Structure 1
Amino acid sequence: MKKSSFIYGTILLVIVNFLVRSLGFVYKIILSRLIGPEAIGLYQMVFPFLMLLITTTSAGIPSAVSKLVAKENSLNNREGVYKILTISLFIGGTLSLVLSILVSLNMDFIVTKVLKNEAIFYPILFTIPAISLITFASIIRGFFYGLKDMKPPANAQIIEQLFRIIFVLSYLVYKKPSNPVLAATIGIIGVSLGEFFGLIYLIFKFNLRKLNPRRHLIKIYTVSSLKVASSILYISIPITIGRLVSSLIQTASSILIPQRLIIAGYTSSEAIQIFGKITGMAMPLLFLPFTVTSALAINIIPNISEQMAINNMDDVSEQCNLAIKITLLVAIPITIIYTAFGNHLAQLIYNQEDVGSYLSIISYSTIFLCMQHTLSGILHGMGKQIITTINYLLGMVIQLYCTYFLISNPKYGINGFFIGYILSAFVIFALNFITLKRAIKIRLSILQLLIKPTILSSLTALSMLYIYKASYLVTTSNFLSTMVSALLGGILYLLLLSITKTLNIKSIIKEIKG
């Protein structure tokens, strides 16, 4: 395998993640202005429910497909590659069909007893097509990731987002529906429509002509389907459990945090405002580096799996070191910038300076969250998804404990949530790191991975401050000055990394060019 495949694939996915998230961010702003707060409220009630449903079918199976396809492809086993895809589609299709039937038969119970809002009957109804569409699209994306062909799934994500945005906004602008239920329903239909066109594109790119003649197809099915299915389930079930627990913890936190703040002495209005500022404003900024780490995690799984299959442990170790290095080179400067300029960013983006204090505190978890994300991808690629899930569950227990017991204590208040969140992120990272160290030899240089990036990031942050002040004197624009300082700061950071040989940028460019 060429090193460029890992680097190129990661950069491509980072760009696509950034583009898709940017489109989604702008879309949400325009959507909220077009349909109003009531319709947005209904939409936001339904969307998490849909995400919970598809977690069951699309959280673990695509990762399993990516890992297993990469393994069989490294052994030149075309039969195994297409066998894995066929059986995973069958498993995913069966699960999505069962979920669709269950939702269809229990609509009244869901809207009246679970979500407790009869107005969302039709939005919930139109989530049903999305279950199967998202499941199949996710599995085929996992297939392409396993082949290390990143372009089709990257393009499919952009197509999904564009078709959803174009359909929803065009309908809303043309029809101007005054009924908030109809407006929310259109938003949900847009999800299914976007996924449909993304899936069509993936099927087209899959190109059935790549399969061998009919006699080869018959031979494929002589391999034990039960063994392949058990391998898929063995990998996917722990990952799915982890994702489901994460969704449930988020749901529990949305209920517990305001309740425990009220017990600590806050008014109901204050508690809801604090919760909204943390989860709706500070947290989205905190997750910004995940555009890089999620790309790393997706890309590292098939690469590690492929090298493990041919017992090339030296390359596994090398890729682990590279992934960890990239993660730290992104996470360290982001942490310093959030800590130093949290108030400024919050004022600029949300016009809410107190959000900055929350961002500055919670940003101490950035390094641990990013490392946790990358290490999980490495361990999944090595087939250690069970221990990774156990590590995650232990961390979530700590977070839930602190949320319940510390927030209600007036001595801590909302700081109890921050303590739990940072401690949880650190524990999961530490456990994953220990697991990795026991599994493989990794060579980590404290100077190259921690000391140099911290010094260079601090110098960059200081330079950005002076660049901002100089730019503001010329432009008198807070926004433009911030953009100029961010752009020049990013360029300066890359130059410093290159000059100090912390990152060989010339080598990376050569590898990307092939």
Structure 2
Amino acid sequence: MIQTSTPSILKGAFILSLAGLISKMISAGYRVPLQNLTGDLGFYVYQQVYPILGMALVLALYGFPGAISKLISDTHHISRPVSIPSFYLPVFALLLVFSLIVAVIGWLEAPQLARWMGDPRLVPSIRTSFFVFLFIPVISVLRGVFQGKNDMTPTAVSQIVEQILRVAVIIAAALIVSRGGDLYHIGAGAAYGSMAGALAAAVFLIIWTVKKPGLWSFDRFPCRTPFSRHVLLYGLLISFNYMLLLSLQLVDAFTLVPQLVQAGYSPEEAKVVKGIYDRGQPLIQLGTILASSLALALIPSVTRRRLEESPEQVRFSITSAGKITLYISTGAAAGLIFLFPDVNKVFFQDEAGSGYLRVLMLVIIGSSLSITTASVLQGLGRVRQTAFIVIGGIGVKAAVNLLWIPAAGIYGASFASLTAVAFVLLGNIVILRKDLSLKKRHHTPGVSLVLAVAGMSAALYISRGMIKALFALDDRLPLLLYILALSAGGAVVFGLILIRTGGFTRQEIEVLPSSKRLIQLLPKG
């Protein structure tokens, strides 16, 4: 039984991870044309409501389905149908009550939330955004049951369907607004897009469930498991672990504009500056996805049981994942910082804010390492601790925003985000040290990493000078091709220097593609 189920679980985890990667790429990528269509002010409006929509998305995709799937696996045999009256309906009712409470509170308190954000015109968008929470119950229950039965395909497909329709509606709303509409309507358009995507996902999951009668039954069975405590508490704790970047944006939504006004900006200037600052969010998301997704592929089997049975193998997986995350995130951040004026121009049409956005790119390193270490800790059963650390990071971000923005302007927000991710990363490392013995000396990649960053920067500097001396890069298309060429070349130089200077061990190289050729580049061949 174990031998047949283990490959199924790993295959399901891969399918879900791949769907998540595709969805996150779509989620990060569409914000570039959104900003191009609506400008910095329209992008500011969207980013003010995005954290609300993002929280609903995380709850419906990770939090509650994760809690429900755990409940299913703990209380049901994998081949046993799930009772509609004894499970589906009670859990659905519980989540419906929760969602109604959040939606009603959000609707009633929207004027106060808009005042805290420093912009009363956001009230309609905030109110519409909270309606998305009403779609959480049906999506969460069905995704949770499928995942509890180790069938990840419905969740994966519904996630992609939801994201595609959501983005299509948002871009359509942006096109309408760009042709003379009120820019503040883009906030409501984003909410309608999220609701359309959620509705499509719900319909898809319902149809898939109906076609699988072995997944449900009308038989009643006694259940002593406290649904409310397990689903709500555990679901919320899981969600916090996926909300690091989202929580930083939420704090900025409430504090940045009011603090910029306090620093001397006019309200309209503060909104535009906030929109320019938010240009960094999709780039941070893409960099974090790239760095953490490759590393997380190495640690799907990190569990408390495996740590006890094969401690050295687990330590190797964790340290390798940490090193890969550090390498990729540092290379991505360094490359973006070096190329940022051009990156800003090709994606967002001008070079505004390049200074503080360069500082913000350093968040990629801290957020990527935080997500990787948090994933390890979740595998070891430290869900509660990692959630509390993220909550602490939210507090740090808010406190530093309030302290530094009036004094340092928008740079203060960038430094506040860096401080928050550093706090979360440090907290995760402290907890991880309790589970992993670090007495054994591990290979430290510091020198190799410094040499790789320096070599890549030198190569980019020389290449940039040569290309700009030979070609005119006034239009966005040639500028995009120039950035892609430099990025690819810089990545190759970065990776080769890492390998050549001993940044990877032979054992780590052996799991990579073309490992025989790469091994020849190691210091000792």
Scaled by the length of structure 1, the TM-score of the pair is 0.74
Establish whether residue 487 from structure 1 lines up as the match of residue 513 from structure 2.
Answer: no
> How far is 1:475 from its partner?
4.7
> Counterparts of 1:357 and 1:175 in 2: how far apart (Å)?
30
Query: Which residue, out of 460, 463, 467, partners 1:464?
Result: 460
Decide which structure has greater helix share: 1
User: 3-state DSSP class of the match of 2:405?
Assistant: coil
Deviation at 1:55, TM superposition (A): 5.9
Q: Distance in 2 between matches of 1:72 and 1:296?
A: 30
Which residues of 2 match residues 250-269 of structure 1 at below 5 A?
A: 250-266=249-265, 268=267
Aligned to 2:433: 437
What is the SS of the residue equivalent to 1:408? helix
- Unpaired stretches in structure 2, ≥5 consecutive residues: 1-5, 474-478, 516-525
AA partner of residue 375 (structure 2): G
| Deviates further, 417-426 or 203-212 | 203-212
Structure 1 residue 16, shift from structure 2 partner = 0.9
Q: Does structure 1 retain, via aligned residues, the 8 Å contact 2:158–2:201?
A: yes
Q: In structure 2, give the amino acid aligned to 1:459.
A: G
Aligned AA (2:258): Q
Asked whether 1:96 is paired with 2:96, we answer yes
Distance 1:376 1:127 in 2: 28
In structure 1, runs of 5+ residues without a counterpart are none
1:476 aligns with 2:472: yes
Within 5 A, what are the aligned runs for 1:334-483? 334-409=332-407, 412-441=408-437, 447=443, 449-472=445-468, 475-477=471-473, 478-483=479-484
List aligned pairs for 1:314-353, cutoff 5 A.
316-353=314-351
User: Which residue matches 1:192?
Assistant: 195
Q: What pairs up with 1:31-70 in 2 under 5 angstroms? A: 32=38, 47-52=50-55, 60-65=63-68
* Cα deviations by residue, 1:270-305 (Å, 9 ceiling, x for unpaired): 544443322x12333233222236647987896445
How far apart are residue 17 of structure 1 and its match?
4.0
Decide whether the 8 Å contact of 1:9 with 1:150 is kept in 2: yes
Query: More displaced, 379-388 or 340-349?
Result: 340-349
Q: Deviations over 1:46-77 (max 9, x none)?
A: 554444556666663234346666x759xx95
Task: Output the CA distance in 2 between the equivalents of 1:175 and 1:249.
Answer: 27
1:335–1:364 CA contact under 8 A, matched in 2 = yes
Structure 1 residues 253-274: Cα deviation after superposition (integer angstroms, max 9, x where no partner)? 3343343344445555554444
Deviation at 1:13, TM superposition (A): 4.8
Between the two proteins, the alignment pairs up a number of residues equal to 495
Q: For 1:58-137, what aligned pairs fall within 5 Å after superposition?
A: 60-65=63-68, 77-78=77-78, 87=87, 90-91=90-91, 93-100=93-100, 103=103, 107=107, 109-110=108-109, 114-115=113-114, 124=127, 128=131, 130-137=132-139
**1:378 aligns to what SS in structure 2?**
helix
Displacement of 1:106? 8.2
Tell me how far apart the structure 2 counterparts of residues 105 and 421 of structure 1 sit (CA, whole Å).
Answer: 28
Moved more, 399-408 or 286-295: 286-295
Higher mean C-alpha displacement, 368-377 vs 339-348: 339-348
Match of 2:157 in 1: 155
* Equivalent runs, 1:127-276 vs 2, <5 Å: 128=131, 130-138=132-140, 140-141=142-143, 152-166=154-168, 188-203=191-206, 209=212, 211=214, 221-222=221-222, 224-226=224-226, 230-240=229-239, 250-266=249-265, 268=267, 270-276=269-275
Matches of 1:43 and 1:204, distance apart in 2: 32
Residue identity opposite 1:339 in structure 2: I
Deviations 1:25-48 (A, max 9, x none): 356257648xx977x887666554
CA shift digits 1:228-250 (9 cap, x unpaired): 66444453243456778986764
Moved more, 152-161 or 140-149: 140-149
- C-alpha contact (below 8 Å) 1:379/1:388 kept by paired residues: yes
How far apart, CA to CA, are the structure 1 residues paired with 2:248 and 2:130? Answer: 22
> How far apart are 1:371 and its partner, in Å?
0.9
Counterparts of 1:298 and 1:240 in 2: how far apart (Å)?
18
Give the match for residue 507 of structure 1.
Answer: 511
Distance verdict in 2 for CA 1:429–1:244, change over 3 Å: closer
Output the CA distance in 2 between the equivalents of 1:482 and 1:328: 23
What are the superposed Cα offsets for residues 395-446 of structure 1, whole Å, 9 maximum, x if unpaired?
333322222223333xx44444343332222121111111012113469976
Deviation at 1:469, TM superposition (A): 4.0
TM-score (ref. length: structure 2): 0.73
Q: Give the AA of the match of 2:363.
A: S
1:178 is displaced (CA, Å) by 7.6
Closer/same/farther in 2, CA of residues 32 and 486 from structure 1, 3 Å limit:
same
